[in-house]
Amino acid sequence: MNSASLPSNEETLQPVPTQSGQPRRYGDFATFPAALDYAAQGDAGFNIYSGKGVLLEALPYKKLREQAIETGQRLLGMGLQPGDRVAIVAESDGDFARIFFGCQYAGLVTAPLPLPVAFAGKEAYLSTLRGMITSSGASAVIIPQIIEGWTDDIVSGLGLVFAGSPADLMARPVSDVPLPEIQPEALSYLQFSSGSTRFPMGVCVSQQSGMANVAAIAHDGLQVRETGDRCVSWLPLYHDMGLVGFFLTPMTCQLTVDMLPTREFARRPHVWLDLISRNRGTIAYSPSFGYELCARRPASAGLDLSSWRVAGIGGDMIRPHILEEFSERFASAGFSAKAFEASYGMAEATLAISFAPLNTGIQTDTVDLTVLESKGIATAPTHPDTPTRTFVLCGKVLPDHGLEVRDAHGNILGDRQVGTIFVRGPSLMDGYFRRPDETRQVLDGQKWLNTGDLGYMLNGQIVVTGRAKDLIIINGRNIWPQDLEWSAETNIPTLRSRDVAVFSLEKGEQEEIVALIQCRATDPQMRETLRNDAANLFRRLHGVDVSVVLVPPHALPQTSSGKLTRAKARNMFLSGVFEPQPDVAPAC
């Protein structure tokens, strides 16, 4: 089936229902094809919606299985062999589902690639995409209709067996090549981290490690109910939270998913809430900025969010003030702040590492910032004027997994002592694809993964404080750039989340802290006021001098999942992209 064979506008589509009508299984399968074989015996599936909330395709798992098997046979009929990689630019639609699972049945390794949502221009996007295709050693690349015109630019000179649109693929004949028997240890897909740019590295996720994670997510993290649960998602399928959390996990526990296109979410965030209300969604996730967009836009009349029992938060550092604003805004629509669910994860662990207890809302820990920076200890403030930082507790590690916080010498630290987070368990990656040196840098002989994150333990829960590589060291103090970013975004009314990027530069034997701030004002006096307010705020709350540089709106780079990327912002600054502009009011 291809896009051209979807029902016309005159036909009335009925969405796939919530209930699968079969005994619930929580991802207890050996492989993803085995999981889809079981899900196909019920009535659940994917509903594909437009950015305006119009149902475009209803795809029960039964129909998906049939179409996926045919797609797998088409791919093998081209001469592809089990183990070959197939790169898919991941639009949130039925074609992606057919091709992804077609590869699973054919023993082909999928590599979901990003759409150009968060990239600064066509050339930067094409460079990133070609780097991912080359890194994966893909033999075929599937390019959705929305960027079909870029196909030659994307694939020229790569020597591929196939490069084209989903419609081009579906026009190929279904071969009689037998499908292989898929083994649990076989490689399932490559997950490129959202920050992959110049040297993209694909995380190797096997069938068994992927299944271990989705089973733990469904049974222990989300505690999927026997009946009544339904997922609603706008998250990108090229990012682990969207792919694993709201594409693979629901299928492996026979849940229906209502899917919205990622690329249209920012323009119409309330369609997400409308779908939750309309279809009685119970499970939906977003990074902080998604909740912020919803809270700041006019809401639809008649929203009923009382069914939403797991309002997950992840994909970036959690911002409590944004969640508080959201819950206050939508309390009248039946939303309960207890539905907020903090979690911690990363692509190298397939997705999830820990979940906070359900139905408790966001639990926070406010600590003395001065002691944290100077001693690496998270203690409660002793004086009301003490600078503080509030962190979110991200829960206990998943069953059958391990988590430790270690110091620089590998010693395990106690509660409230900040160190590097290490994890181990059955859902960890096999390594980075064809990158043995990089794999050895993060994965030791006992299969402990150095996450690169810093944090501390508190009563059995992990608290994440930031990325080790982002840490700024000034006069013996460990300063997290997030602290400065959040202070500015929280205390300066004109700023929003992701408006500030903070990093350090070496100036001789000293380090200089730079803050790039997106400024929407054109009036010179307003711009100067913003500069001074930010610099004074950093000095007053954090005791550091910061060079404040104003940059245009939408100038700060983001990852494909919408996270701010400080490293790229720093490189852009050093290369002169953000040269100071004269503060001149525009001509009338």
Q: Is the pLDDT of residue 398 over 90?
A: yes
In terms of Cα–Cα distance, which of 123, 115, 121 is closest to 153?
Answer: 123
Bigger pLDDT: 48 vs 566: 48
Position 7 scores a pLDDT of 47
What's the sign of the alpha-carbon dihedral 198, 554, 242, 87?
negative
Identify the band that residue 3 occupies on the pLDDT scale cut at 50, 70 and 90: very low
Collect all residues with Cβ–Cβ distance below 8 Å to 533 and sequence separation of at least 6.
492
Alpha-helix residue ranges (DSSP H) falling in 261-398: 270-279, 288-296, 320-330, 369-375
Q: Which two tokens stand for residue 196?
A: 């992959």
- Mean of pLDDT values over 550-554: 93
Cα→Cα distances 320→254, 260, 342, 479, Å: 32, 25, 10, 20
In this predicted model, what pLDDT tens digit does every residue of 164-175 receive, in sequence order?
999 999 999 999
pLDDT at res. 120: 58
Secondary structure letter of residue 383 according to DSSP: S
> Among residues 192, 220, 221, which one has the least CA distance to residue 205?
192
Judge whether 355 and 218 are in contact, CB under 8 Å.
Answer: no
Q: How confident is the model at residue 194 (pLDDT cuts 50, 70, 90)?
A: low
**Residue 77, Cβ density class (10 Å: 0-12 exposed, 13-18 middle, ≥19 buried):** middle
Domains of the chain: 19-268 (3.40.50.12780), 364-426+434-469 (2.30.38.10), 471-574 (3.30.300.30)
Q: How many CA atoms lie within 13 A of 149 on its CB side?
A: 2
d(CA 62, CA 254): 11
Encoding tokens for residue 510? 């000293």
pLDDT score of 303: 97
What residue type is assigned to position 532 of the chain? N
What's this model's pTM, rounded to 2 decimal places? 0.88
Reported as a pLDDT band with limits 50, 70 and 90, residue 98 is very high
- Give residue 437's pLDDT: 95
Structure tokens at 39: 């899900």
Mean pLDDT check: name the lowest of 82-96, 255-269, 436-450, 469-483. Answer: 469-483
- Residue 560: the pLDDT is 62
- Torsion region of 12: left, alpha or beta (phi above 0 gives left; psi -120 to 50 gives alpha): beta
Q: Look-up: residue for tokens 């082909």?
A: 108
Q: Helix/strand/coil (H, E, C) string of 103-168?
A: HHHHCCEEEEECCCCCCCCHHHHHHHHHHHHHHHCEEEEECCHHHHHHHHHHHCCCCCCEEECHHH
Tokens encoding 246: 């709201």
Taking 50 as the threshold, does the pLDDT of residue 6 lie above it?
A: no
The Cα 133–Cα 154 span in angstroms is: 9
Cα gap 107→431, rounded to integer Å: 19
pLDDT at 381 over 60: yes
Scanning 163-307, the segments in alpha helix (DSSP H) are: 166-170, 207-216, 240-243, 249-252, 270-279, 288-296
Q: Is 550 within 8 Å of 531 (Cβ atoms)? A: yes
Q: Is the pLDDT of residue 8 over 70?
A: no
- pLDDT score at 172: 97
Average pLDDT over residues 11-18: 89
The residues pairing with 478 across neighbouring beta strands, listed in sequence order, are 473
pLDDT number for residue 584 = 40
Average pLDDT over residues 556-566: 77
Q: Compute φ and ψ for 97, nearest 5 degrees.
A: -65, -45
Provide the pLDDT confidence category of residue 374 given band limits of 50, 70 and 90.
very high
**C-alpha angle with apex 100: 315 to 180, nearest 5 degrees?**
130
If you average pLDDT over residues 88-102, what whole number do you get? 97
Residue 401 has pLDDT above 60, yes or no: yes
Cα–Cα separations (whole angstroms), residue 460 to 247, 288, 450, 470: 30, 24, 19, 26
And the tokens for 573? 């600054």
Q: How many whole angstroms separate alpha carbon 421 and alpha carbon 487?
A: 25
What pLDDT band is residue 580 in, cutting at 50, 70 and 90?
Answer: low
Cα 14 to Cα 18, 52, 154, 199, distances in angstroms = 12, 17, 37, 44
Token pair in block for residue 160: 């591929």
Is residue 118 over pLDDT 70?
no
52, 390, 459, 482, 501 from 561: Cα distances, Å:
21, 24, 31, 18, 17
Written in H, E and C, the secondary structure of 444-477 is CCCCCEEEEEEEEEECCEEEEEEEHHHCEEECCE
Average pLDDT on 403-429 reads: 98
Give the list of residues 6+ apart from residue 442 with CB closer than 8 angstroms, or none.
Answer: 348, 449, 450, 452
Number of residues written out for the chain: 588
- Judged by average pLDDT, the poorest of 151-160, 371-380, 500-509, 537-546 is 500-509
Query: How far apart, in whole angstroms, are the C-alpha atoms of residue 311 and residue 335?
Result: 9
Would you state the pLDDT for residue 96? 98
What residue has token string 């096999």? Answer: 430
198: confidence class by pLDDT, cuts 50, 70, 90: low
Residues with Cβ within 8 Å of residue 468, at least 6 apart in sequence: 420, 452, 453, 454
* Range with the poorest average pLDDT among 123-132, 234-243, 323-332: 123-132
Percent of the chain with pLDDT over 70: 94
What is the pLDDT of the chain when averaged over all its residues?
92
Q: What percent of the chain has pLDDT over 90?
A: 78
Q: Which pLDDT belongs to residue 9?
A: 46
Pairing status of strand 352-355 against strand 396-397: antiparallel
For strand 55-60 and strand 85-89, is the pairing parallel, antiparallel, or unpaired?
unpaired
